[in-house]
Amino acid sequence: MKRNPLELAAIASAAVPGLSPTGATSAPDDSADFDAALLVDSAGKQWRVRSPKHPEASMRLETELQALRAFSPGIRAELPFHVPHIAGSVRRGDLSTFVYSHLEGSTWDLESLCAGGRRMASELGRALAAIHELPPTLVHRADLPSYEANEFRQRKLNELDQAATSGHIPSTLLRRWEHALEDVTLWKFSPTVVHGDLHEDNLLISGGRVSAVTGWTDLRIGDPADDFAWLAAAEDPDFADAVYAAYAATRTTPVDPHLARRASLAAEFALAQWMVRGLAVNDTGMIAEAEDMMATLVEDIHASEQAHAEEAKREWAERNNRADSDTVRDNRADTDSNNDDDSDDGANDDSSADTLSTVTPIRPGTGEPPSGEGTATSALPVISTGR
């Protein structure tokens, strides 16, 4: 059941003794899991409320409580952004609602972040690097999940198998994701601390900088590429590239070369995960949304493959034309040389002109020009999963 901001204000009053809300408004959050609101109390102080919609979401908030408790004052002081403090909680049945003290800043949509240009890209890259430089002991202390690279890849393969059994995943995507997951070179990364649910709604911006990072329900040690997946939806690829560049420049250890490709894969695979979640809770809206987004992704993949094929044909034609020109030039040089020799002998053999011909280069073993089929497609940006 969806709770409106006034209902959340009443719950917050029970969670934090002495809190007297005078105003409330909806706040962006994971709509499938939480209701959220921003409150103002009688003293003008602001608060944030997150209320779970089902037991699994409530468990995620309990996990966030563990995670936030693991952020010692020393760790918090070294971060370039603020991390939430939990002011109180209240449990009703199987669901626990949490109230957080206010953090400075506001959420920007992805388009607004991209409009911030290189300065904002630098801020995001620096924030991501700071998360991935957090000490692993923070995760271990909170007793949260930790995955090695191959273990993480195997988990993804298991999730793909589960999604395949639903019968709702297009075969084009199943093949594409399976090939990527079976490419072991793609998954040779150094695990780091990962936020796990990073996207624009969990970033607060103030004064043109990232002032706070929220939503730590999925903190773990795993693939750093997961925290970049949301950037795949950016319409400006140069912005995402600038974020990666700022991130690499800030990290104290080398960044693996396949980070961006795995991030794009994670963004695509999120559609399958959204579908599985929709089926699990029998939410027809989520299912229809996931089907529409996967259909769009398939169209994008086919369009990308066609573009690659046309580019390959253009490149072949250019090479062919250059080869023709070289052949003609070489044959002319040979003819001129022969003519010079014949002139010396006082004779001119007209049959030399008949030797000029066009040599068409072919693909080895095919006898045909390259068609472009089978060309590896680049990872495609995808539309938002509906957060």
Higher pLDDT, 29 or 110: 110
Question: Which residue, among 238, 229, 302, has the nearest Cα to 260 in the 3D structure?
Answer: 229
Mean pLDDT, residues 24-48 taken together: 87
Predicted pLDDT of residue 60: 92
58 pLDDT band, cuts 50/70/90, is very high
CA angle 175, 177, 183 (to 5 degrees): 100
Higher pLDDT, 341 or 282: 282
Q: Which helix (H) or strand (E) holds 128?
A: helix 117-132
Domains of the chain: 21-101 (3.30.200.20)
Whether 330 shows a pLDDT value over 90: the answer reads no
Question: Among 71-75, 80-84, 353-357, where is mean pLDDT lowest?
Answer: 353-357
Higher pLDDT, 297 or 28: 297
CB-count burial class (<10 Å; 0-12, 13-18, 19+) for 384: middle
Predicted pLDDT of residue 342: 56
pLDDT in tens, 266-280: 999 999 999 998 998
Name the average pLDDT for the chain.
85
336 pLDDT band, cuts 50/70/90, is low
257 pLDDT band, cuts 50/70/90, is very high
Percent of the chain having pLDDT more than 90? Answer: 63
* Nearest-angstrom CA–CA distance, 15 and 249: 43
Whether 377 shows a pLDDT value over 50: the answer reads no
**Integer CA distances (angstroms), 187 to 113, 158, 162, 379, in order:** 29, 15, 20, 15
Percent of the chain having pLDDT more than 70? Answer: 83
Predicted pLDDT of residue 4: 86
Higher pLDDT, 325 or 203: 203
Question: Among 26-30, 227-231, 310-314, 353-357, where is mean pLDDT lowest?
Answer: 353-357
